[in-house]
Amino acid sequence: MKSLSYLILLFSLSTSASNITPIDVKAGEWKIIESPLTKNKEMMKQLKVQQEKMKKMFADMPPEQAAMLKEKMKAFGGGGANPMATGLDGLTDMRVCIKEEDLKKENYNFGQNKNEKCKVKVIKSTKKEYTYKHLCPGEKPRIINVMANNNSELTVKHANEGESNSSKVVLRMKWFASKCSEKSLKNR
């Protein structure tokens, strides 16, 4: 009887891992070609004006002081790229590294969050679509839908669970290179 229980457990574990069908896209570096921020021309214009002011301010400082202030600004931005400290390319040239082994993981989150306490619950997994619930402690659950338009173009939709379609964030991504650059490796 015990051996039958072990066989059932082993079978259930092996079938749960095989329920993931990797989305049919190329592995490598992907570039976000459209996001709400890149579509907002007025905001980008204002950010460029602010960035020019910051460049002038940094140029007028001793190099050590400018470097220290840039580091503080990066930290203030949650550890990511703060556009005033690192430049607008962090906002307009966003890249993500997607590796072949990532696509086969049951808990792959397409570079959404590096917080190890966050979990992924797969809702749908086919060659053309990967939908999952992104669960992080203290945050509203998000539903992420990744659609393969073809093997080198993705549409990614984010929405907090239970919110209307009008609150969705839509990104378009295009495959850029087979090898991941340092920039894209930071977003895995």
Q: What is the rounded average pLDDT for all residues in the chain?
A: 74
* DSSP character at residue 167: G
pLDDT tens digits, one per residue of 30-81: 888 877 666 666 766 777 787 788 888 888 989 998 888 877 776 554 334 4
pLDDT the model gives residue 134: 86
Distance CA 84, CA 48 (A): 9
Alpha helix positions (H), the chain: 2-17, 36-39, 41-59, 63-76, 83-86, 89-92, 100-103, 182-185
Evaluate whether 47 touches 58 at the Cβ level (below 8 Å): no
pLDDT band at 6 (very low <50, low <70, confident <90, very high): very low
Evaluate whether 45 touches 184 at the Cβ level (below 8 Å): no
**Edge-to-edge strands, sheet with 153-160:** 95-98, 28-34, 169-177, 153-160, 142-150, 129-135, 119-125
Locus of tokens 């239970």:
162
pLDDT the model gives residue 27: 92
Evaluate whether 74 touches 82 at the Cβ level (below 8 Å): yes
Name the token pair of 26: 């190329």
pLDDT tens digits, one per residue of 101-123: 888 887 777 766 567 788 888 99
User: pLDDT at residue 167 above 70?
Assistant: no
pLDDT band at 3 (very low <50, low <70, confident <90, very high): very low
User: pLDDT at residue 127 above 90?
Assistant: yes
pLDDT the model gives residue 71: 75
User: pLDDT at residue 96 above 60?
Assistant: yes
Query: Which of 111-120, 124-133, 179-188 reaches the highest mean pLDDT?
Result: 124-133
pLDDT band at 187 (very low <50, low <70, confident <90, very high): low
CA 66 to chain centre: 29
pLDDT the model gives residue 14: 37
Evaluate whether 88 touches 47 at the Cβ level (below 8 Å): yes
Helices (H) and strands (E) in the chain, counts: 8, 7
Element (DSSP H or E) covering residue 177:
strand 169-177
pLDDT the model gives residue 101: 87
Identify the structural domains of the chain with CATH numbers, from first to last.
24-188 (2.40.128)
Of residues 2, 26, 18, the one with CA closest to residue 179: 26
